Amino acid sequence: MTGTSVHLAVYDTFADWEPGFATAQLTQHGRTVRTVGLTTSPVTTMGGVRVQPELSLDALDPAGSELLILTGASLWDTGDTLAPFARTARAFLEAGVPVAAICGATAGLAREGLLDDRSHTSAVSFYLAATGYAGGAHYVEADAVTDTGGAARGALVTAGPTEPVAFAREIFGLLGVFEPKKLDAWYRLFHDSDAGAYEELNG
Protein backbone atom coordinates (compact mmCIF):
# COMPACT_ATOMS: atom_id res chain seq x y z
CA MET A 1 0.00 0.00 0.00
CA THR A 2 1.10 3.53 -0.72
CA GLY A 3 -0.11 5.46 2.29
CA THR A 4 -2.01 5.47 5.56
CA SER A 5 -4.84 7.74 4.39
CA VAL A 6 -8.17 6.19 3.56
CA HIS A 7 -10.49 8.34 1.50
CA LEU A 8 -14.23 8.36 2.14
CA ALA A 9 -16.32 9.80 -0.67
CA VAL A 10 -19.11 12.07 0.57
CA TYR A 11 -21.95 13.49 -1.48
CA ASP A 12 -25.52 14.61 -1.00
CA THR A 13 -27.81 11.76 0.14
CA PHE A 14 -24.90 9.45 0.98
CA ALA A 15 -25.87 6.65 3.36
CA ASP A 16 -23.96 7.80 6.41
CA TRP A 17 -24.43 4.59 8.41
CA GLU A 18 -22.76 2.33 5.86
CA PRO A 19 -19.05 3.19 6.37
CA GLY A 20 -19.15 3.76 10.13
CA PHE A 21 -17.96 0.35 11.32
CA ALA A 22 -15.05 0.53 8.89
CA THR A 23 -13.95 4.12 9.47
CA ALA A 24 -14.12 3.87 13.27
CA GLN A 25 -11.73 0.91 13.40
CA LEU A 26 -9.48 2.23 10.65
CA THR A 27 -9.00 5.45 12.60
CA GLN A 28 -8.28 3.50 15.80
CA HIS A 29 -5.68 1.42 13.96
CA GLY A 30 -3.51 4.20 12.65
CA ARG A 31 -5.23 5.28 9.44
CA THR A 32 -6.32 8.82 8.72
CA VAL A 33 -9.78 8.95 7.18
CA ARG A 34 -10.18 11.92 4.84
CA THR A 35 -13.42 12.97 3.20
CA VAL A 36 -13.54 13.81 -0.49
CA GLY A 37 -16.41 15.47 -2.35
CA LEU A 38 -17.08 16.63 -5.87
CA THR A 39 -16.01 20.00 -4.48
CA THR A 40 -15.22 21.16 -0.97
CA SER A 41 -18.74 22.56 -0.54
CA PRO A 42 -20.73 20.97 2.30
CA VAL A 43 -22.95 18.00 1.54
CA THR A 44 -25.94 16.60 3.42
CA THR A 45 -26.14 12.90 4.16
CA MET A 46 -29.25 10.75 3.95
CA GLY A 47 -29.46 11.08 7.73
CA GLY A 48 -29.48 14.89 7.50
CA VAL A 49 -25.90 15.35 8.73
CA ARG A 50 -23.95 18.16 7.10
CA VAL A 51 -20.39 17.20 6.10
CA GLN A 52 -17.59 19.47 4.87
CA PRO A 53 -15.33 17.52 2.47
CA GLU A 54 -11.64 17.95 3.16
CA LEU A 55 -10.65 17.86 -0.49
CA SER A 56 -12.24 17.90 -3.90
CA LEU A 57 -12.29 14.91 -6.20
CA ASP A 58 -9.97 16.54 -8.73
CA ALA A 59 -7.31 16.85 -6.02
CA LEU A 60 -7.42 13.16 -5.07
CA ASP A 61 -4.35 11.18 -6.13
CA PRO A 62 -4.44 7.37 -5.80
CA ALA A 63 -0.72 7.44 -4.99
CA GLY A 64 -1.52 9.13 -1.68
CA SER A 65 -4.27 6.74 -0.66
CA GLU A 66 -4.60 3.25 0.77
CA LEU A 67 -8.29 2.85 -0.09
CA LEU A 68 -11.26 4.67 -1.60
CA ILE A 69 -14.63 4.00 0.07
CA LEU A 70 -17.84 4.66 -1.87
CA THR A 71 -21.17 4.42 -0.05
CA GLY A 72 -24.71 4.23 -1.27
CA ALA A 73 -26.74 7.34 -2.07
CA SER A 74 -30.02 8.12 -3.76
CA LEU A 75 -28.07 10.04 -6.39
CA TRP A 76 -26.45 6.87 -7.75
CA ASP A 77 -29.81 5.90 -9.26
CA THR A 78 -31.18 9.27 -10.34
CA GLY A 79 -28.69 10.54 -12.89
CA ASP A 80 -24.99 11.00 -13.60
CA THR A 81 -24.11 13.35 -10.74
CA LEU A 82 -21.90 10.76 -9.04
CA ALA A 83 -20.36 9.30 -12.21
CA PRO A 84 -17.08 11.17 -11.53
CA PHE A 85 -16.63 9.03 -8.42
CA ALA A 86 -16.97 5.86 -10.49
CA ARG A 87 -14.37 7.20 -12.91
CA THR A 88 -12.10 7.93 -9.95
CA ALA A 89 -12.63 4.35 -8.79
CA ARG A 90 -11.39 3.21 -12.19
CA ALA A 91 -8.26 5.34 -11.78
CA PHE A 92 -7.65 3.85 -8.33
CA LEU A 93 -8.03 0.27 -9.52
CA GLU A 94 -5.81 0.87 -12.55
CA ALA A 95 -3.18 2.32 -10.21
CA GLY A 96 -3.35 -0.81 -8.04
CA VAL A 97 -5.11 0.94 -5.14
CA PRO A 98 -8.18 -0.78 -3.63
CA VAL A 99 -11.75 0.45 -3.81
CA ALA A 100 -14.61 -0.54 -1.50
CA ALA A 101 -18.19 0.05 -2.67
CA ILE A 102 -21.44 -0.66 -0.86
CA CYS A 103 -25.12 -0.36 -1.78
CA GLY A 104 -25.85 2.04 -4.67
CA ALA A 105 -22.15 2.63 -5.28
CA THR A 106 -21.98 -0.88 -6.71
CA ALA A 107 -24.43 0.21 -9.40
CA GLY A 108 -22.22 3.19 -10.16
CA LEU A 109 -19.26 0.86 -10.64
CA ALA A 110 -21.39 -1.44 -12.78
CA ARG A 111 -22.30 1.44 -15.09
CA GLU A 112 -18.60 2.29 -15.35
CA GLY A 113 -17.85 -1.27 -16.46
CA LEU A 114 -15.77 -2.05 -13.39
CA LEU A 115 -17.75 -5.17 -12.44
CA ASP A 116 -17.84 -6.77 -15.88
CA ASP A 117 -14.98 -9.18 -15.20
CA ARG A 118 -14.64 -9.22 -11.40
CA SER A 119 -16.36 -11.14 -8.62
CA HIS A 120 -18.80 -8.84 -6.83
CA THR A 121 -22.06 -8.56 -4.95
CA SER A 122 -24.70 -5.92 -4.22
CA ALA A 123 -28.23 -5.70 -2.83
CA VAL A 124 -29.61 -8.26 -5.32
CA SER A 125 -28.46 -9.41 -8.73
CA PHE A 126 -31.35 -7.82 -10.61
CA TYR A 127 -30.51 -4.40 -9.15
CA LEU A 128 -27.19 -4.49 -10.99
CA ALA A 129 -28.74 -6.18 -14.04
CA ALA A 130 -30.94 -3.10 -14.45
CA THR A 131 -27.81 -1.05 -15.15
CA GLY A 132 -27.23 -3.03 -18.36
CA TYR A 133 -23.78 -4.11 -17.25
CA ALA A 134 -22.03 -7.20 -18.60
CA GLY A 135 -20.89 -8.71 -15.31
CA GLY A 136 -23.88 -10.81 -14.29
CA ALA A 137 -21.90 -14.05 -14.54
CA HIS A 138 -19.54 -12.75 -11.85
CA TYR A 139 -22.27 -11.89 -9.33
CA VAL A 140 -21.86 -13.72 -6.00
CA GLU A 141 -24.67 -14.28 -3.50
CA ALA A 142 -22.74 -13.27 -0.37
CA ASP A 143 -22.81 -10.62 2.35
CA ALA A 144 -19.64 -9.02 0.97
CA VAL A 145 -17.05 -9.99 -1.63
CA THR A 146 -13.40 -9.12 -2.18
CA ASP A 147 -11.95 -9.54 -5.64
CA THR A 148 -8.19 -9.33 -5.22
CA GLY A 149 -7.70 -7.96 -8.70
CA GLY A 150 -4.84 -10.05 -10.01
CA ALA A 151 -1.76 -8.58 -11.64
CA ALA A 152 -1.56 -4.78 -11.78
CA ARG A 153 -5.14 -4.18 -10.60
CA GLY A 154 -6.33 -2.95 -7.25
CA ALA A 155 -8.57 -5.12 -5.10
CA LEU A 156 -12.30 -4.42 -5.07
CA VAL A 157 -14.66 -4.90 -2.12
CA THR A 158 -18.43 -4.88 -2.70
CA ALA A 159 -21.39 -5.32 -0.36
CA GLY A 160 -25.13 -4.83 -0.21
CA PRO A 161 -26.90 -2.12 1.81
CA THR A 162 -27.74 -4.38 4.77
CA GLU A 163 -24.15 -5.51 5.30
CA PRO A 164 -22.04 -2.66 6.74
CA VAL A 165 -20.40 -5.04 9.22
CA ALA A 166 -19.41 -7.55 6.53
CA PHE A 167 -18.26 -4.61 4.40
CA ALA A 168 -15.97 -3.51 7.21
CA ARG A 169 -14.77 -7.09 7.74
CA GLU A 170 -13.61 -7.31 4.12
CA ILE A 171 -11.86 -3.94 4.36
CA PHE A 172 -10.06 -4.97 7.55
CA GLY A 173 -8.95 -8.24 6.00
CA LEU A 174 -7.72 -6.48 2.89
CA LEU A 175 -5.73 -3.86 4.79
CA GLY A 176 -4.48 -6.19 7.52
CA VAL A 177 -6.16 -4.30 10.34
CA PHE A 178 -6.69 -7.50 12.36
CA GLU A 179 -5.03 -10.89 12.17
CA PRO A 180 -7.50 -13.58 11.03
CA LYS A 181 -8.64 -14.88 14.45
CA LYS A 182 -9.27 -11.39 15.77
CA LEU A 183 -11.02 -10.41 12.56
CA ASP A 184 -13.38 -13.34 13.02
CA ALA A 185 -13.96 -12.32 16.64
CA TRP A 186 -14.62 -8.71 15.63
CA TYR A 187 -17.19 -9.85 13.07
CA ARG A 188 -18.95 -12.17 15.50
CA LEU A 189 -19.07 -9.43 18.12
CA PHE A 190 -20.58 -6.74 15.92
CA HIS A 191 -22.63 -8.91 13.55
CA ASP A 192 -23.85 -11.64 15.88
CA SER A 193 -23.66 -9.87 19.26
CA ASP A 194 -21.47 -12.74 20.43
CA ALA A 195 -20.35 -11.55 23.85
CA GLY A 196 -17.68 -14.25 24.02
CA ALA A 197 -15.98 -12.71 21.01
CA TYR A 198 -15.18 -9.58 23.01
CA GLU A 199 -12.61 -11.42 25.12
CA GLU A 200 -11.11 -13.04 22.00
CA LEU A 201 -10.81 -9.64 20.36
CA ASN A 202 -9.31 -7.86 23.34
CA GLY A 203 -7.43 -10.70 24.99
Give the three-class secondary structure for 121: coil
Reported as half-sphere exposure (CB side, CA atoms, 13 A), residue 82 has a value of: 28
Question: CB of 96 within 8 A of CB of 123?
Answer: no
Neighbours of 25 (CB within 10 A): 18
Reported as half-sphere exposure (CB side, CA atoms, 13 A), residue 116 has a value of: 9
For 25-117, where are the E strands, in sequence order?
32-37, 43-44, 50-51, 55-56, 67-70, 99-102
State the pairing for strand pair 43-44/67-70: unpaired
**Active-site residue flag, 122:** no
Question: CB of 173 within 8 A of CB of 163?
Answer: no
Give the three-class secondary structure for 100: strand
Give the three-class secondary structure for 65: coil
Q: Which one is catalytic: 6, 8, 57, 103?
A: 103
Catalytic residues: 103
